[in-house]
Amino acid sequence: MAYSIGEVSEMLNISISTLRYYDKEGLLFRVNRTTGNIRVFDDTDIECLKMIECLKTTGMQLKDIKLFFHWCEEGDSTIDKRYQLFLEQKEKTEKQIELLQHALDRVNYKCEYYRLAKEKGTTNDPSLQDELAMKYLTKDNNK
């Protein structure tokens, strides 16, 4: 199926200027153009864009994403390179998730603290810490 840049932008929630940038930077190897030089995207381009967005979300730099797609174009001789790239990115992503989980745990603790403080009308009640300690220590012991 063929898609215009506007349709792709709407479909994937990627700005038109970003799509143009990706194309200009060589991240989209196979985007076809009409005789009027208008980009026409196909399902393969859509999958590439989804991969770009996925890898960006994990923190991969565009130069490394471009290298990955270059390796894809080179074919099976680069399977090991691509595999290693993804193993490294997986490890980085798992570390990010761990850091985010610790941050979320702290935010959840503070949400509960202020919920209880709101109920009591003060943050100066020593029982707040006791209630939370019991709740969160019990939770940690059940893991």
Residues facing residue 32 across a β-bridge:
40
Higher pLDDT, residue 73 or 133: 73
The model's pLDDT over 96-108, given as tens digits with 9 standing for 90+, comes to 999 999 999 989 9
Q: Report whether pLDDT(134) > 80.
A: no
Contact between 40 and 34 under an 8 Å Cβ cutoff? The reply is yes
| pTM of the complete model | 0.78
Measured in residues, the chain has a length of 143
Confidence tier at 132 by pLDDT (50, 70, 90) = confident
3-state DSSP assignment of residue 62 = helix
Contact between 78 and 68 under an 8 Å Cβ cutoff? The reply is no
